[in-house]
Structure 1
C-alpha cells in the first residue's frame, strides 16, 4: 500500500515547517531541519553509509517544486537540493518523526557534533578609525 498524496502543501516560513494536509483531514508538520538532515539524497544517505548532517538547526526551505505526481523537490538555503521527497518518504517521516529525530540527536551526541551553526568570527582591525 502506498502512502496518501497530500491534498495541500504549505510552508510556514516563520516557523520553518512544511505542513501537509491529507484528504482525510490529517495534518502533518515536518520541520525543515528534520527534512534536511534526513534528506533522501545520496549526499545524505550515502551509498549504504549515511553521512551525519551537522549544524543545520537554522536551515530553511526557500523553494518547493512538485516532481510529477509522486514527490517534492526541496531547495534548502544551505545549497542542498538533490533529494526527491516522495509521498511515501514524507509519510514515513511523519509517522516516525519522534523516533527518527531522537536517533539523529543520539548520533550527533555520539559524534560530538552539534545542531547549531558555528559562528564565523569577523576580522576586526582594532586600530582602524571610522
Structure 2
C-alpha cells in the first residue's frame, strides 16, 4: 500500500508516512539509516551485512520518489544510496519495536555503540599477571 503523505521532519529529521487506511508511522533518521537497504548496510548477499554503529543523531535530510515503487532517502551523514521500497518502509514501520531491539542487541554483542563518540573502556586489574 502506498502512503498518501510523506513528510520529512525538519526539526527532528524523522520520516512520517500516512496511509489511506488511517495508519501513520514516524521513524527516526537513525532507525532508517541503520536499516538502509543499500549494499553498504545489507552487503551483496547473505552473511555480508555490515552492522552500522555511531549513527545516533543521524537525520533524514531529504526524500525523493524513485519511480512509483520506492523512496530514496538522503541522510545527514551523507548516505544516499538506499532505495527504500514502499513495502520495505511499511515493514520497517510495522515491526519497529522488534527490529530496533534486534539492532540494539547486535550492537551490545559486538561491543559497538549508537553514539559515535563512545569508546569502549577495558578495565584491568593492576594485580593481574596478564597486564
Match of 1:32 in 2: 29
C-alpha displacement of 1:15: 2.2
Q: In 2, Cα distance between the equivalents of 1:107 and 1:82?
A: 23
Contact 2:72–2:82 under 8 Å retained in 1: yes
Which runs of 5 or more structure 2 residues have no equivalent in the other structure?
Answer: 119-131
TM-score, L = length of structure 1 = 0.85
C-alpha displacement of 1:58: 0.8
The size of the alignment, in residue pairs, is: 116
Contact 2:12–2:59 under 8 Å retained in 1: no
Q: Deviations along 1:66-98, whole A, 9 cap, x unmatched?
A: 111111000111111111000010011011110
Give SS of 2:6's match.
strand
Runs of 4+ in structure 1 off by over 3 angstroms are none
Matches within 5 A, 1:49-60: 49-60=48-59
TM-score, L = length of structure 2 = 0.85
Q: Deviations along 1:14-39, whole A, 9 cap, x unmatched?
A: 22211000011110111111100000
Q: In 2, Cα distance between the equivalents of 1:24 and 1:18?
A: 18
Which runs of 5 or more structure 1 residues have no equivalent in the other structure?
Answer: 120-130
Q: In 2, Cα distance between the equivalents of 1:78 and 1:88?
A: 25
Q: In 2, Cα distance between the equivalents of 1:41 and 1:82?
A: 6
Q: In 2, Cα distance between the equivalents of 1:93 and 1:19?
A: 12
Provide the alpha-carbon RMSD of the alignment: 1.1
